[in-house]
Structure 1
């Protein structure tokens, strides 16, 4: 361990302790209510709150469907008009533009905030950036639920807290990593998510994977290793220590992010919530967790003062939050309309464009070994997409 890593671990521990002041009482309350189910009937004025937060909503019977089944209400078949090729193409182009613009802009602004100064001062509080992202996404999701009512989710509200913790920590790690490694290194490392996702899927859902997934993971690790090792400055121990700290943080990011996707998948399957409801539940807890951490660590007001004192920083935070919220909406819409395969292709292009854009704007140097690593990574991604498309279809 070095001083840089020790400092990051200390900050990480403080965040966990701050989160526990909210989550520990919540889970004790959940356990108590589940062991005393009569509380719902005893305290009728709290029944709605207890059920939605801890026990989950009751199944709501569709009376119209019931009357149809009983033959008391006629129902006319609704024919869905197939979309024309032009309409489908317009939707696809809209999704591609929306995802590329929102996340490319988000990446550029993220790197600007974490690696450059504002009037001679550097902003270092990653937790505050996570907070401003989550609070805006919360309002966007809440607004959509208000103006476009959906079926009440069956999931207890506290279930969203698990994925919220991992989502908040993964975002925090992502910002922290930029203090120690270059943005291209961070982006390329994200392509290794398949490895921890596979491991976490095995632990959480006991999933099995085809042989080519393991080959993909190995090739991907090789490509990223070539890139990261090439980016480390030889002969400078300080640079090596910084790179090591960055790698540790990236591993933390990949671990938390893989748990997030797997736990969300379980909630989708078990409780049939919509993507907007998921977005609202996760961002609700994330906003609470981050603001509690900021208050307990006594950095909320100093971060707000920095925000007010630096107009450019405030503008960048606003753009960052808007891009994050809009990007989430485009992710949900793209997967719903075109499926995960097309979404993967679009986001793979985004990663390549992010590296290119970062190198142009912030003048990152990439040598021959780094270029070879990038080619290996995206070649492995292409191999995986080919296998997902054709091998699975044949089987």
Structure 2
């Protein structure tokens, strides 16, 4: 389950570098922004500021705290733009678009995965006499990703026509906070477990997503969704149990990796369900990307400044130009990948997008094993096969359900959000 000898056991790290300590320090930094903001919002609502407020600050406060409070009801006012139909396009053009989308997603996220493992598990500046040093602050990488995503989404919204925004801005902060924590857990977990293990754990997140869906959105699921979730859990268990334990890695280290993966899955499940609830307002996916990343930048830069970690990370970048290139490319791949997600879903729908991303996960495992030398046993390989078989089965069953729903009367056709 571990990446190899490059991973230092948690017990050998200083207390300040231990992931649990860093987690609480980061959480305290976010709380220093969230708590005053929460109190201010409650104060403005108690004062009925929407009715009594005036002045040059009123439009900003209204947008941040109250919004327009107008939720979309009809499909033409929906959060997702209608998917482009290929009726007027030639077959060759559609094939070219599909290849473009597939290539963009594969290149963006495969490069992102390779760089992620490189940054978190290898040293920089190593020579024959100097072992080099590792970059340890996962929160700075999250900040780098979010600041570029915020910039790209902002430019896109400014240059293209978007729906009139109606959601109170502060509601993005919930998804932003859980998104930051899930990304932090994802980066931090690579210090303790292998990248293939992390990829399979991501595939198994459909289980907590379904649980969160029941708790947060009161959703109901079909029998095939429970079946495929069970198959995924069996496949992941086969892979984990077949992985030979590394003698250099302590039980505490392995346990830390499992806990961080669990944290990633839980926080990410909340993020997707909260964003799905926010889509009841009239907004586009890029507006969602912009709103979430506004708060992500605010939270991460505030926490980094409070800890003094921002300057420390910038000094690390100055010492190691290779790390600078990796961190920038990591952020570019993350931001471009999100845009490819929106474009692919708009052009070809969620089913095609899911197939492309499922193949990407399989390629990511193969690429990681080739570059970083991870070993997979026969039973582990069978577990991987079971996981991806279940994922493709979900895509097939969902497409069948979608075709069946088209036979319903127009007023009863459900709208699927991604």
TM-score w.r.t. the length of structure 1 is 0.90
Contact 1:133 1:320 in 2 (8 A): yes
Q: CA deviation at 1:46?
A: 1.9
15 and 253 in structure 1: CA distance in 2 versus 1, 3 angstrom threshold: same
Provide the C-alpha distance between the structure 2 equivalents of 1:314 and 1:55, rounded to a whole number of angstroms. 40
In the alignment, what sits opposite 2:44?
Answer: 33
**1:351 corresponds to 2:361:** yes
Match of 1:118 among 110, 121, 124: 124
In the alignment, what sits opposite 1:133?
Answer: 145
In the alignment, what sits opposite 1:240?
Answer: 251
Structure having the larger proportion of residues in helix: 1
Contact 2:69 2:167 in 1 (8 A): no
Q: CA deviation at 1:390?
A: 2.4
Match of 2:209 among 190, 197, 204: 197
237 and 103 in structure 1: CA distance in 2 versus 1, 3 angstrom threshold: closer
In the alignment, what sits opposite 2:414?
Answer: none
In the alignment, what sits opposite 1:336?
Answer: 346
In the alignment, what sits opposite 2:33?
Answer: 22
Match of 2:160 among 148, 152, 155: 148
In the alignment, what sits opposite 1:89?
Answer: 95
In the alignment, what sits opposite 1:9?
Answer: 20
In the alignment, what sits opposite 1:220?
Answer: 232
In the alignment, what sits opposite 1:380?
Answer: 390
Provide the C-alpha distance between the structure 1 equivalents of 2:271 and 2:314, rounded to a whole number of angstroms. 29
152 and 392 in structure 1: CA distance in 2 versus 1, 3 angstrom threshold: closer
Q: CA deviation at 1:231?
A: 2.3
Provide the C-alpha distance between the structure 2 equivalents of 1:237 and 1:311, rounded to a whole number of angstroms. 31
Provide the C-alpha distance between the structure 2 equivalents of 1:359 and 1:278, rounded to a whole number of angstroms. 35
Provide the C-alpha distance between the structure 2 equivalents of 1:374 and 1:151, rounded to a whole number of angstroms. 42
Provide the C-alpha distance between the structure 2 equivalents of 1:265 and 1:4, rounded to a whole number of angstroms. 42
Q: Which moved more, 1:80-89 or 1:200-209?
A: 80-89
Match of 2:114 among 86, 101, 108: 108
Q: CA deviation at 1:82?
A: 2.5
Written as runs of structure 1 = structure 2, the 5 A alignment for 1:271-286 is 271-286=281-296
In the alignment, what sits opposite 2:269?
Answer: 258
Q: CA deviation at 1:232?
A: 4.4
Q: CA deviation at 1:338?
A: 1.4
Contact 1:40 1:50 in 2 (8 A): no
Q: Alpha-carbon deviations, 1:91-136, whole Å to 9, x = none? A: 1111101000000000001000001100111101100000001001
254 and 388 in structure 1: CA distance in 2 versus 1, 3 angstrom threshold: same
Q: CA deviation at 1:353?
A: 0.2
Provide the C-alpha distance between the structure 1 equivalents of 2:90 and 2:48, rounded to a whole number of angstroms. 53
Contact 2:238 2:380 in 1 (8 A): yes
* Structure 1 spans left out of the alignment, 5+ residues: 61-79
Provide the C-alpha distance between the structure 2 equivalents of 1:287 and 1:231, rounded to a whole number of angstroms. 38
Provide the C-alpha distance between the structure 2 equivalents of 1:334 and 1:255, rounded to a whole number of angstroms. 26
Provide the C-alpha distance between the structure 1 equivalents of 2:44 and 2:165, rounded to a whole number of angstroms. 20
Aligned residue for 1:188, secondary structure, equals helix
**1:320 corresponds to 2:354:** no
Q: CA deviation at 1:239?
A: 3.8
Count residues in correspondence.
374
Q: CA deviation at 1:303?
A: 0.6
Q: CA deviation at 1:86?
A: 2.2
Q: Alpha-carbon deviations, 1:217-268, whole Å to 9, x = none? A: 111111111112222416x484433222111110100011111111111111
**1:51 corresponds to 2:79:** no
Match of 1:297 among 277, 302, 307: 307
* Structure 2 spans left out of the alignment, 5+ residues: 1-9, 72-85, 126-131, 406-418
Contact 2:178 2:267 in 1 (8 A): yes
Q: CA deviation at 1:44?
A: 2.8
Q: CA deviation at 1:81?
A: 6.7
Match of 1:171 among 165, 179, 183: 183
In the alignment, what sits opposite 2:172?
Answer: 160
Provide the C-alpha distance between the structure 1 equivalents of 2:93 and 2:324, rounded to a whole number of angstroms. 39
Q: CA deviation at 1:380?
A: 1.3
Q: Which moved more, 1:258-267 or 1:382-391?
A: 382-391
Provide the C-alpha distance between the structure 2 equivalents of 1:167 and 1:362, rounded to a whole number of angstroms. 28
Q: CA deviation at 1:17?
A: 1.0
166 and 193 in structure 1: CA distance in 2 versus 1, 3 angstrom threshold: same
